[in-house]
Amino acid sequence: MPYLVQCAHIQEEEARKTCSNTALLSFIYANVRYPETARKKGIEGTTLTQFDVDKDGALINIEILAGVSNELKAETTRLLSKMPKWAAGTVDGEPVRVRYTLPIKFKLED
């Protein structure tokens, strides 16, 4: 499985996966911008996204599979395009492209 490079120092695979998931959520929380038009309209919901982590760790082929509004879909695309590099997944020690599916939930604060 691919992982975010800030977790590369962790050798145990399950711990590295946990670190990467935590880093991914931290990145999303720190960088997401709730679109003002969606906020004003009270639009909430989840975007479902797929992308590939390429052999060099770059995110490519970002695709929004589902979403409740164009504003939230656009924000998801913007957010993922800013994501830091990943370490590629490997098979038999060789880097490979890996497809990743990620839901991102947009919820207005009460």
Residue pair 38/72 in contact by the 8 Å Cβ criterion: yes
What pLDDT, on a 0 to 100 scale, did the predictor assign at position 42? 95
Q: How do the pLDDT tens digits run along the chain, 110 residues long?
A: 888 989 989 999 999 999 999 999 999 999 999 999 999 999 999 999 999 999 999 999 999 999 999 999 999 999 999 998 899 999 999 999 999 999 999 999 86
Q: Which residue has the tokens 């497809």?
A: 99
pLDDT score, position 69: 95
pTM of the model: 0.86
Which domains are assigned to the chain? Answer: 3-106 (3.30.2420.10)
pLDDT of 110: 66
Distance CA 99, CA 2 (A): 9
Among candidate residues 87, 104, 105, the one with its CA nearest the CA of residue 96 = 87
**92 backbone dihedrals φ, ψ, rounded to 5°:** 55, 40
